[in-house]
């Protein structure tokens, strides 16, 4: 029997966090290649520090994506995030590009050839999760940690909260009663501010209305403890304050620690990499299981070997759900081709839809008309109910 009364905490970081700046640039490169050639291969890593960006990795795609084009992509991403400070400026930062051809040995294992189907780009385990704590079928702590920062970012970019800078972090401790989230006991928000005269109390006065707007009514009360810029001033932010790297916020990107993580990052990788595509597929399947009413929570694991098309295993945990897990596993394998090619085809992943995923979570977002966040669809509900009735 799982615990029914407890506290659980998740954190998020804004698009201006140093690691998220790097995720954004890496995914902008992925999108550029996929827009030019849907079958392009990209494994792109970015490092950022004081007025310096280094982009490295392996690619296979058209020559039209030149070094100058990649530099421009990085500058455009930094400008859109909002960095025009002395120590990190979209126009003045030095951007170095070290992208080279994909390893022929990796390509040999991944590419389809004759009777051999396209294999996975690497070995690994990927997890998907869904629960009925929110209408988006996401764990409440990470969902609202994201929402706080997205609300603050929207206010900053609209000019409504022009005193704020791009770099920010949030943390939400949610109280559960009878297994359901009912309130927030502690809130942490650390946000960069451009006015050096502002103290913690001034920042709280500025951001509190947006935090209240982001959370369900009644979740904050007089007992809720606030920590706003607890170290004092936060003027120096972004890569000028702390170096950033692609792929360092994988728990922020997924379920905030409420579910397992296989360990592989998403950003900077084209969808032939199962670190990304199979994690999206696992979320898609788990979400449809919960949306179908077969369980209030569902955890799925998929595993792959480099060069092998079919998953080595599928594991489902329904956490006291309504159907037998082994039966569900068989049904899921019938409903969706979980080979790398099958996943990309089913979810339409060979598109430039990844830069938008680089902040505020890869999951719990609405499916978009151009195919973005296709893994958030719940179009298998009827098929699941029919197969398992």
Which residues are designated catalytic?
17, 19-20, 45, 58, 169, 234, 242-243, 248-249, 269, 273, 275
CB 315 within 8 A of CB 329: yes
**What residues form DSSP beta bridges with 184?**
174
Q: Is the distance from CB of 276 to CB of 104 less than 8 angstroms? A: no
Task: Record the tokens describing residue 92, joined without a space.
Answer: 């003045």
Residue 277 near residue 123, CB atoms below 8 Å:
no
CA gap 292, 387 in Å, rounded: 11
Beta-ladder partners of 298:
130
* SS3 letters across 86-155: CCEECCCCEEEEEEEECCHHHHHHHCCECCECCCECCCEEEEEEEECCCCCCCCHHHHHHHHHHHHHHHH
Alpha carbon distance 23, 269 (integer Å): 10
- Tell me the sheet residues that pair with 53: 48, 95
Three-class SS of residue 311? coil
Neighbour order of strands in the sheet with 94-101: 94-101, 52-60, 41-49, 244-245
Rounded to the nearest angstrom, the gap between the alpha carbon of residue 318 and the centroid of all alpha carbons in its chain is 23
Cα–Cα distance for residue pair 261/127, rounded to 1 Å? 6
């Amino acid at each position: 029997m799982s615990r029914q009364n407890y506290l659980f905490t998740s954190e998020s970081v804004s698009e201006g966090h140093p690691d998220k700046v790097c995720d954004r640039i890496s995914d902008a490169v992925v999108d550029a290649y996929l827009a030019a050639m849907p079958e392009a291969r990209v494994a792109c890593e970015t490092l950022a520090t004081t007025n310096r960006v280094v982009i490295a990795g392996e690619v296979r795609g058209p020559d039209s994506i030149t070094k100058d084009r990649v530099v421009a992509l990085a500058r455009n991403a930094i400008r859109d995030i909002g960095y025009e400070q002395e120590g990190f400026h979209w126009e003045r930062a030095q951007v170095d590009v070290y992208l080279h051809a994909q390893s022929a040995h990796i390509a040999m294992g991944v590419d389809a050839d004759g009777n051999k189907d396209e294999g996975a780009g690497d070995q690994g385990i990927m997890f998907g999760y869904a629960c009925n704590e929110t209408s988006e079928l996401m764990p409440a702590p990470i969902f609202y940690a994201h929402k706080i920062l997205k609300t603050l970012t929207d206010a900053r970019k609209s000019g409504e909260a022009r005193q704020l800078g791009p770099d920010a972090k949030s943390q939400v401790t949610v109280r559960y009663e009878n297994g359901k989230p009912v309130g927030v006991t502690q809130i942490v928000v650390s946000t960069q501010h451009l006015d050096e005269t502002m103290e913690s109390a001034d920042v709280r006065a500025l951001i509190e209305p947006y935090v209240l707007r982001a959370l369900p009514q009644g979740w904050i009360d007089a007992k809720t403890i606030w920590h706003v810029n607890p170290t004092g001033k936060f003027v120096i932010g972004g890569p000028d304050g702390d170096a950033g790297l692609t792929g360092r916020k994988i728990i922020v990107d997924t379920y905030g620690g409420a579910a397992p993580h296989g360990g592989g990052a998403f950003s900077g990788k084209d969808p032939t990499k199962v670190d990304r595509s199979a994690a999206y597929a696992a979320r898609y399947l788990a979400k449809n299981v919960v949306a179908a009413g077969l369980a209030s929570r569902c955890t799925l694991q998929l595993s792959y070997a480099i060069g092998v098309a079919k998953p080595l295993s599928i594991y489902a945990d329904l956490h006291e759900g309504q159907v037998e897990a082994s039966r569900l596993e068989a049904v899921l394998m019938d409903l969706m081709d979980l080979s790398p090619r099958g996943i990309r085809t089913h979810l339409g992943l060979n598109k430039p839809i990844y830069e938008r995923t680089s902040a505020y979570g890869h999951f719990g977002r609405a499916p978009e008309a151009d195919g973005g966040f296709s893994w958030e669809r719940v179009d298998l509900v009827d098929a699941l109910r029919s197969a398992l009735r």
